[in-house]
Amino acid sequence: MAHLLLLAIVYVSFVSLGLPDAVMGVIWPAMRADMGQPLAALGVLTLTMTVCAALSAGFAGRIVARVGTGVVVAASCLMTALALVGFSVAPSFAWLVLLGIPLGAGGGAVDASLNHFVAAHYSSRHMNWLHGFWGVGATTGPAVMGLALASPGGWTRGILALGLAQLTLAALLWATLSLWRRERSQPADPVATGEPPMVFKPVARRALWLAPLCFLFYVAAEMGTGLWAASILVNNRGIGLAQAGFWVSVYFGSITLGRFAVGLVSDRLGNRRLVRLGVILALAGAALFALPGLPALLSLAGLVLMGLGCAPVFPSLMHEAARRFPADVARTVIGRQMMAAYAGGSVIPAAFGLLATWVGLGAVMPMVMLLLIALLWATRALDRLT
């Protein structure tokens, strides 16, 4: 019973992690008007949060080894909760940037430590569902903020609501620390579960960097498509702005629903096969979306197909890290993977904007296809080494 309760807490924690991730773009028009900031000032805030998240994710493994996953998750959740409450009363934009430091650092630490915990203690099914629940949070956050923006309290009330929700979760996490301490520090005994024992190859230095590189390629392709798909649909496909926004939501929704569906078969198919099938499916979808002159319906089908292909890649690669490397090495590698994911999700999609300016929006999806081909190469090389 305690095992199931802890699993439920882990799921709720990832819903909570996803809640603030997608709200900044929703509230920025109202926030910048209140703070008297230009449109581009959002870049300063998001860059601060991203850098802090990447750094904390990189160091999370060392901290977890000293104090345990439960303490890191509870402390990080409290830190993000207080930062969000601070956002609701911040008197100036400078305060928002300062509060972005604990908000980003707390999110990065939770992300890395929970990913390692689930990879070490639970099956591939739960890892896919874990990231599905992140999608639930990322979908719910903008809806909450939309209701808040329509209310007299505006964006400050919405941010305060998210902060209070995080505070409630932090209290729950501190109250249930004993559950984390009682959890196994290693995966279940393979003899008891009927599974073959894991035998690790000697750790190759190249594998320690290939694993993060896979995340750089994948997240850059996923987020680059999500960032620029609406512009491609509006400017190159002649689709209206509102309709384009809806189909971008469908793209992310297909990733979320795909992860819940993949969780039903992931233990049977295995992480490595799921990654390979997912990348090939995503590549086919990206190619269909990239082709000019196709009917709009086929382009949209390609976007959805890419989302479905993306669904198993991130969670399966993350879960496989605990099977590629010994426990002490896996903890460090997962931190590096999260750092690479943050870098891939911020730097490369932004660089696509320069590419679109110099060459045209038609060059974005071929670059996404190159990233997916590079990911396929990197995962095959990593499979041979581990």
The span from the CA of 138 to the CA of 132, in Å, is 10
The Cα–Cα gap between 360 and 211 comes to 32
* Region of residue 119 (phi > 0: left; psi between -120 and 50: alpha; otherwise: beta): alpha
CB atoms within 10 A of CB 138: 20
CB atoms within 10 A of CB 308: 20
Low pLDDT (below 50) residues in the chain? 184-195
Q: What is the pLDDT of residue 192?
A: 42
Global pTM value: 0.81
Looking at residue 143, its pLDDT comes to 75
CA 209-74-257 angle, 5° bins: 65
Q: Are 164 and 85 in contact (CB under 8 A)?
A: yes
Q: What is the pLDDT of residue 218?
A: 96
Give pLDDT tens digits for 8-65.
888 888 888 887 776 776 677 788 888 888 867 877 887 888 889 989 988 888 888 8
Q: 17: closest CA among 147, 97, 114, 124? A: 114
